[in-house]
Chain A
Amino acid sequence: MPAVSKGDGMRGLAVFISDIRNCKSKEAEIKRINKELANIRSKFKGDKALDGYSKKKYVCKLLFIFLLGHDIDFGHMEAVNLLSSNRYTEKQIGYLFISVLVNSNSELIRLINNAIKNDLASRNPIFMGLALHCIANVGSREMAEAFAGEIPKILVAGDTMDSVKQSAALCLLRLYRTSPDLVPMGDWTSRVVHLLNDQHLGVVTAATSLITTLAQKNPEEFKTSVSLAVSRLSRIVTSASTDLQDYTYYFVPAPWLSVKLLRLLQCYPPPEDPAVRGRLTECLETILNKAQEPPKSKKVQHSNAKNAVLFEAISLIIHHDSEPNLLVRACNQLGQFLQHRETNLRYLALESMCTLASSEFSHEAVKTHIETVINALKTERDVSVRQRAVDLLYAMCDRSNAQQIVAEMLNYLETADYSIREEIVLKVAILAEKYAVDYTWYVDTILNLIRIAGDYVSEEVWYRVIQIVINRDDVQGYAAKTVFEALQAPACHENLVKVGGYILGEFGNLIAGDPRSSPLIQFNLLHSKFHLCSVPTRALLLSTYIKFVNLFPEIKTTIQDVLRSDSQLKNADVELQQRAVEYLRLSTIASTDILATVLEEMPPFPERESSILAKLKKKKGPSTVTDLEEIKKERSSDMNGSAEPTPVNASNVSTPSPSADLLGLGAVPLTNSAPAPSSSGSLLVDVFSDSSSVAAPLAPGSEDNFASSSDLASSEVVSEEPADAVHDADELIHKFICKNNGVLFENQLLQIGLKSEFRQNLGRMFIFYGNKTSTQFLNFTPTVICSDELQSSLNLQTKPVDPIVDGGAQVQQVVNIECISDFMDAPILNIQFRYGGTLQNLSVKLPITLNKFFQPTEMSSQDFFQRWKQLSSPKQEVQNIFKAKHPMDTEITKAKIIGFGSALLEEVDPNPANFVGAGIIHTKTIQIGCLLRLEPNLQAQCSVLFQMYRLTLRTSKEAVSQRLCELLSEQF
Chain B
Amino acid sequence: MSVHMQFMLLFSRQGKLRLQKWYVPLSDKEKKKITRELVQTVLARKPKMCSFLEWRDLKIVYKRYASLYFCCAIEDQDNELITLEIIHRYVELLDKYFGSVCELDIIFNFEKAYFILDEFLLGGEVQETSKKNVLKAIEQADLLQEEAETPRSVLEEIGLT
Contacts and interface: CB of A to CB of B under 8 A. Distances in A.
**Do A and B originate from a single complex?**
yes
Interface of A: 2-3, 5-7, 9, 11-12, 14-15, 17, 21, 53-54, 60, 63-64, 67, 69, 71, 87-89, 92-93, 96, 100, 126, 129, 133, 136-137, 139-140, 163, 166-167, 170-171, 173-174, 177-178, 201-202, 205-206, 208-209, 212-213, 216, 245-247, 249, 254-257, 259-260, 262-264, 301, 304-305, 307-309, 311-312, 343-344, 346-348, 381-382, 384-385, 387, 621, 623
A681 to B, nearest CB: 40
B17 A69 contact: yes
Interface of B: 1-3, 17, 19-20, 25, 28, 32, 46, 48-54, 57, 76, 79-82, 84-86, 88-89, 97-98, 102, 104-105, 107-112, 114-115, 118, 122-133, 137, 140-142, 144-146, 148-150, 152, 156-161
Nearest to B148: A87
A14 B52 contact: no
Contact of B156 (A12, A262, A346): A12
A384 B53 contact: yes
Nearest to A21: B107
Contacts of B152: 11, 53
Contacts of B123: 136-137, 139, 170-171, 173-174, 177
A9 B145 contact: yes
Closest 10 CB pairs of A and B: A15-B159, A308-B81, A174-B123, A260-B2, A308-B82, A7-B142, A246-B130, A263-B2, A343-B50, A3-B104
B85 A301 contact: yes
Nearest to A257: B129
Contacts of A96: 111, 114-115
B1 A213 contact: yes
A304 B84 contact: yes
A201 B88 CA distance: 20
A346 B80 CA distance: 13
B156 A67 contact: no
Given A173-B125, A343-B50, A126 B118 contact: no
Nearest to A621: B57
Given A3-B102, A308-B84, A385-B50, 14 more contacts: A11-B158, A17-B108, A71-B28, A92-B141, A139-B25, A140-B25, A166-B127, A206-B128, A246-B132, A254-B129, A255-B85, A259-B82, A304-B84, A384-B50
A256 B150 contact: no
Contacts of B53: 384
Contacts of A381: 46, 48-49
Contacts of A245: 130
A205 B81 CA distance: 17
Question: In this complex, which of A15, A263, A381 has the most chain B Cβ atoms within 10 angstroms of its Cβ?
Answer: A263
Contact of B145 (A7, A343, A347): A7
A255 B129 CA distance: 9
11 contacts: A12-B159, A12-B161, A163-B137, A166-B127, A170-B123, A174-B124, A206-B122, A206-B128, A249-B129, A260-B126, A384-B49
Given A2-B108, A167-B122, A348-B81, A208 B2 contact: yes
B82 A255 contact: yes
Given A14-B108, A88-B141, A256-B129, A311 B157 contact: no
Contacts of A92: 111, 115, 141
Contact of B81 (A71, A140, A170, A344): A344
Contacts of B128: 163, 166, 202, 205-206
Contacts of A623: 76
Contact of A209 (B49, B118, B125): B125
Task: Among B2, B52, B141, B144, find the residue whose CB has the most chain A CB atoms closer than 10 A.
Answer: B2
A344 B57 CA distance: 19
B104 A259 contact: no
A67 B129 contact: no
B115 to A, nearest CB: 7
Contacts of A163: 128, 133, 137
A255 B126 CA distance: 11
A63 B114 CA distance: 12
A821 to B, nearest CB: 22
A246 B131 contact: yes
A256 B145 CA distance: 32
A71 B27 CA distance: 13
B119 to A, nearest CB: 8
Contact of B85 (A64, A249, A387): A249
A384 B79 contact: no
B85 A304 contact: yes
A347 B52 contact: yes
Contacts of A346: 50
A89 B141 contact: yes
B79 A53 contact: no
Contacts of A17: 107-108
B121 to A, nearest CB: 9
B157 A11 contact: yes
B129 A301 contact: no
Nearest to A71: B28
Contacts of B80: 308, 311, 344, 348
Nearest to A343: B50
Nearest to A261: B2
A88 B148 contact: yes
B2 A209 contact: yes
Given A12-B161, A171-B122, A173-B123, A6 B81 contact: no
Contacts of B131: 246
A309 B2 CA distance: 11
B32 A69 contact: yes
B144 A89 contact: yes
Contact of B129 (A170, A205, A347): A205
Contact of A308 (B79, B107, B118): B79
Contact of A170 (B97, B115, B122): B122
B133 A202 contact: yes
A67 B20 contact: yes
A60 B111 contact: yes
A11 B105 contact: no
B145 to A, nearest CB: 4
A311 B127 contact: no
A60 B109 CA distance: 11
Given A6-B112, A15-B159, A88-B148, A133 B118 contact: yes
Contacts of B49: 343, 381-382, 384
Nearest to A20: B107
Contacts of A254: 129
B32 A343 contact: no
Contacts of A308: 79-82, 84-85
A87 B46 CA distance: 47
B79 A259 contact: yes
Contacts of A21: 107
Nearest to A212: B1
